[in-house]
Amino acid sequence: MDGPLALALTAGEPAGIGPELCLQLAQEPRTVGLVVVASQALLEARARQLGLAVILHPWHPGDLPRVEAGHLSVLHVEGCASHEAGTLDPASSAYVLRTLEIAGRGCLQGDFDGMVTAPVHKGVINEAGIPFSGHTEFLQELCAVERVVMMLATEQLRVALVTTHLPLKDVSAAITPERLVQVARILDADLKKFFGIEQPRLLVAGLNPHAGEGGHLGREEIDIIEPTLNKLRAEGLVLTGPLPADTLFTPHWLDQADAVLAMYHDQGLPVLKFQGFGRAVNITLGLPIVRTSVDHGTALDLAGTGRADSGSLHAAIGVAGHMARCLKSANQETLS
């Protein structure tokens, strides 16, 4: 789309803090256009509960989103069964997924330059009888891509994952040459496309303690990871590793890198979240669209109190805007 950036912002679980985080954003002027994809009645109810003065404006494709303080553009979605903060209602689950579908399709159609997602509650969606493992997998199916990559980022650190939400006992079997190749290629390509990094430098963690200690603590590094990295190096990827994860996250290594590729969820993310929780951003790579999210959950205990911190959402919007601008620039270079 032409003109200023427009990002879709899904308000997430109605009982959680997502709706009020969206309303908090409207209290100050914005440099990026935001369209909240949500029930307008839900936003109105939460604004009344919190005493926030926000004028909601119905948005239609082609409209410029409102960016001035006290105003918010809303793409209304029907089906929100309850507006009560802090109390989950499975009857709203289809509505929550509908907001994601509308935002995602809007990005694919060019109505939006990207999408930012407030947190959803996976448990209540599954309780409603709807199989759902997360935003990432939902958008992967919507965009019809074979592989996506989860990457979390702060201003100082980016960590991507080879495997995501797997039991630890299943991780080793999931680290195959095919998966490693796909994930590393996506990470390399999207750091170029969405972040403008001409030649990404990637640190790759080993799977086992001490990266296998020469095979004495596991052979995955010798049999799978190192041969696959050599194949990727021959393609031009700049890869260092496999490195022991307990020393990889030190300035000696991180100062030389643009991103870390960790083998599993709790190998890389605890370090990143310790370093920047509340300011970190969840990014889905491998999609044809820009998608970022907050690094926290629905925080039902905070919903409706006005105490929710919008720092991660601000960061997610900032990163999505940067990615969208880089993507536009890359597309323009391709066309020229």
Annotated binding site for a divalent metal cation: 165, 210, 265
The residues with which 152 forms a beta bridge, in sequence order, are: 159, 282
Q: Which residue has the tokens 């021959």?
A: 234
* Tokens 């020469």 -> residue: 214
Q: Show binding-site residues.
A: 135-136, 165, 210, 265, 273, 282, 291
User: Do residues 68 and 54 make contact, with C-beta atoms less than 8 angstroms apart?
Assistant: no
CB contact at 8 A, 202 and 184: yes
Residue type, 50: L
- Decide if 151 contacts 293 (C-beta within 8 A): no
Give residues with Cβ within 8 angstroms of 104, minimum separation 6.
115, 139, 142, 143, 289, 291
Q: Name the token pair of 228.
A: 């696959």
Numbered residues of the known binding site for substrate: 135-136, 273, 282, 291
Cβ(142)–Cβ(101) below 8 Å:
yes
Tokens of 12: 């997430």
| Single-letter amino acid code for the residue at 87 | T
Q: Are strands 291-294 and 281-285 parallel, antiparallel or unpaired?
A: antiparallel
Token duo for residue 185 = 């290629």
